[in-house]
Amino acid sequence: MRIAVVNLKGGVGKTTTAVHLATGLAYIGATLLVDADPQGSASRWAQLAEELPCRTVTWPNADLGKRLTELQGTSEHVVIDTPPGHVDIVSAAVSTVDTVIIPVEPLAMDLDRLNPTIELMARVAAANDPDVYVLLTRVRARTRGSKSARELLESLDLPVLQTEIPLLEAYGWGYGMVPPQGHRYGQLLDELLAGKGIEV
Ligand SMILES: Nc1ncnc2c1ncn2[C@@H]1O[C@H](COP(=O)(O)OP(=O)(O)OP(=O)(O)O)[C@@H](O)[C@H]1O
Ligand SMILES: [Mg+2]
């Protein structure tokens, strides 16, 4: 699988999602985590964790499609963590994957700020036609937020993944560590693999 984790808005859980998915995928096949964000958060995470099971490269440029082609065949799976705001890098990432995940927090402002990302998807993704999914993340327990967000997104014909990532201290403090297997991101991976018809 080739996944780009994308949202032009910052601080929505892209890096957390990318590192968890790359780690989970690495247990089933050789996986490359591409840090395409000039902030370098995913690379720093990998450096601190020391033993992430995936290989990590730092490519914060719009030529990442070319670089991936050069490495073709060396990894079964690729996960690209993208920056907020850098339209050229995000476009390059989207045009080189089969799956785009858009993490979004189920809050009114975050949902409203989704438009530029959706517009970018409409412009860029036509050529390679990846599966595009919204992932509800940082979901607060015992609130209506995710249900309302789901209704809104589905009324806009945006597919929302069944799996939701809860707002938990453990995710915030897991930065710089090897993510544990399973839990919600494990469930998310199972959902994505099942969607692609990949049996583990
Ligand atoms: N499910 C969660 N529960 C609690 N905290 C979370 C969760 N997911 C992410 N966080 C925290 O929220 C903050 C933003 O997450 P993250 O860095 O993954 O977002 P981002 O979209 O990559 O940000 P940026 O756009 O700056 O790259 C971080 O402090 C992270 O640890
Ligand atoms: Mg990030």
For residue 164, give both structure tokens: 């939701």
Question: Residue 20, SS3?
Answer: helix
Total domains, the chain: 1
Which ligand sits closest to the CA of 86?
1
Q: Compute, in angstroms, the gap from residue 17 CA to the centroid of ligand 1.
A: 8
Q: Compute, in angstroms, the gap from residue 73 CA to the centroid of ligand 1.
A: 31
pTM (2 d.p.)? 0.97
Only one residue has tokens 């700020």, namely 113
The helix or strand, by DSSP H or E, that contains position 57, with its residue range, turns out to be strand 55-58
For residue 173, give both structure tokens: 């403090």
| Residue having the nearest C-alpha atom to atom 8 of ligand 1 | 13
Residue 182 lies in a domain: no
What number of other Cβ atoms are within 10 A of residue 163's Cβ? 18
Residue 161 lies in a domain: yes
Give me the domain span that covers residue 32. 2-176
Q: What is the mean pLDDT of residues 99-127?
A: 93
State the pLDDT confidence band at 126, using cuts at 50, 70 and 90: confident
Each residue's pLDDT tens digit, 30-82: 999 999 999 999 999 999 999 999 999 999 999 999 999 998 888 999 999 99
With a 6 A CB cut-off, is 10 part of the ligand 1 pocket? yes
Distances (CA, A) of 40 to 88, 102, 107, 142: 17, 19, 26, 34
CATH number of the domain residue 21 falls in: 3.40.50.300
CA-165 nearest atom, ligand 1: 1
Angle formed at CA 187 by CA 45 and CA 107, multiple of 5 degrees: 75
Residue 44 lies in a domain: yes
- The distance of Cα 30 from the centroid of its chain, to the nearest Å, equals 18
Q: Compute, in angstroms, the gap from residue 21 CA to the centroid of ligand 2.
A: 14
Q: Compute, in angstroms, the gap from residue 194 CA to the centroid of ligand 1.
A: 26
Query: pLDDT at residue 200 above 80?
Result: no
Distances (CA, A) of 89 to 147, 168, 174: 32, 30, 26
